[in-house]
Structure 1
Amino acid sequence: MELSQTAGECAGSCRSCATVGSCPDRVVCRCLGVTEQAIVTAIVALGLRTVKEVRQATEAGDGCTCCHRELNAYLAVYSPSSSPAICSAK
């Protein structure tokens, strides 16, 4: 999912943010004032994989839940791969 589909809807306040990670200071969760940078940093640093984990780490999405679509988009880009790495060396 592209964030351009959700930017400006509900919690989105920056219509020029068409790609994930393009507006680090943009508030994604307006209920609790959580920025894109805080969300991306938590996903990468903590290896978060679910919206529930993002909520627990940042509180984003704990209010009206309108930003959950965007949180899923950030997870799709920044969370670690859910499948294990395959080594072809023998």
Structure 2
Amino acid sequence: MELSQPAVRLGGRIECPERPLCHCFGVSHAEVQETIEQNDLVSVRGITQVCGAGGGCTACHRHLKRLLNENAVAKRLQHGSIAYSAE
């Protein structure tokens, strides 16, 4: 099986960007990540309003919250709001 996008390591896990994160609406991990970044989203409700993910059975909410948290930390690191030491 060949993927158009490679798997990426996020939060200690390997994620396949094309794999559905929200099975109810068939929204992929990559689509959710892009939605969060492009719309500066900070809540599951915001994600649901923009791309539909999380609007069904709610089983994906924990994954959506994780992506929101990871995005928030990445933005803080990018803007220097969090001091990071690799020690």
Give TM-score, length-normalised by structure 1.
Answer: 0.65
Letter in 1 for 2:17: P
Distance (Å, rounded) in 2 between the aligned partners of 1:69 and 1:47: 19
Structure 2 CA distance for aligned equivalents of residues 52 and 22 of structure 1: 23
SS of equivalent to 2:59: coil
Gap regions ≥5 residues in structure 1: 1-15
Matched residue type, 1:32? F
The separation in 2 between residues aligned to 1:48 and 1:72, in whole angstroms, is 11
Cα distance between partner residues in 1 of 2:56 and 2:34 = 20
8 Å CA contact 2:8–2:17 kept in 1: the answer is no
Amino acid in structure 2 at the alignment position of 1:19: L
Give the aligned partner of residue 9 of structure 1: none
Question: What fraction of aligned residue pairs are identical, expressed as a percent?
Answer: 31
Equivalent residue, structure 1, for 2:10:
19
C-alpha separation in 2, matches of 1:77 and 1:65: 19
TM-score, normalised to structure 2's length? 0.67
Large movers: runs of 4+ above 4 Å: none
- RCO (CA 8 Å, sep 6+): is it higher in 1 or 2? 1
Given candidates 44, 48, 52, the residue that maps to 1:51 is 44
Is the strand fraction higher in 1 or 2?
2
Aligned twin of 2:4: none
Larger fraction in helix = 2
| C-alpha distance after superposition, 1:40-77 (max 9, x if no partner) | 00100110000000000110011101100000000001
